Amino acid sequence: MTFASKSLLLAAVFTAVLSGGLWHRLDSTRHDNQTLRRELQTEQQARHTAEWLLHGQEQTMQVFSAIRAANRAARLADETEHHDAKEKITTAITGDNCSTRPVPAVAADRLRELEKRTRAIGGDPARN
């Protein structure tokens, strides 16, 4: 075997080893790339799910906030109406002799009965 053929054989072996190493490295990189893509897809799905859940929670909080505001406004309107009615009645009976007499027991019982039925039908706002 001559020096040229030995050099050529050595270059061929070196090229084969180098090509094999590069081929292995390329295959390993492809496998890692596929794994990273799957992990990225899983993380993106988890993020989308979390965003969807958070959006649902935000909408729920907005609904409850609107309900709370409506209840507060209704309570304030009821209080205002009650106060206005009380003032109108007080003004209307001022100076009338019926304002100094006690309410008959039968009338008071009837009013209590009406109040109980009204609260039972519409719910007791004092309990809310």
| 68, part of any domain | yes
Kindly state whether residue 50 falls inside one of the protein's structural domains. Answer: yes
Specify the pLDDT at position 96.
78
Secondary structure, 3-state, 12-36: HHHHHHHHHHHHHHHHHHHHHHHHH
**Is position 67 within any domain?**
yes
Task: Please state the pTM of the whole predicted model.
Answer: 0.50
The pLDDT value given to residue 128: 42
Q: Is residue 81 part of a domain?
A: yes
Domain that includes residue 65, residue range: 42-94
Q: How many residues does the chain have?
A: 128
Per-residue pLDDT in tens (0 to 9) along the chain, 128 residues? 788 888 988 999 999 999 999 999 999 999 999 999 999 999 999 999 999 999 999 999 999 999 999 999 999 999 999 999 889 888 888 877 777 788 888 988 998 998 898 888 766 555 54
102 torsion bin: left (phi>0), alpha (psi -120 to 50), beta (else): beta
Kindly state whether residue 26 falls inside one of the protein's structural domains.
Answer: no
Q: How many domains does the chain have?
A: 1
Residue 111 located in a structural domain: no
Distance CA 25, CA 28 (A): 5
CB 117 within 8 A of CB 111: no
Report which of 75, 70, 80, 62 is spatially closest to residue 128, judged by C-alpha positions: 75
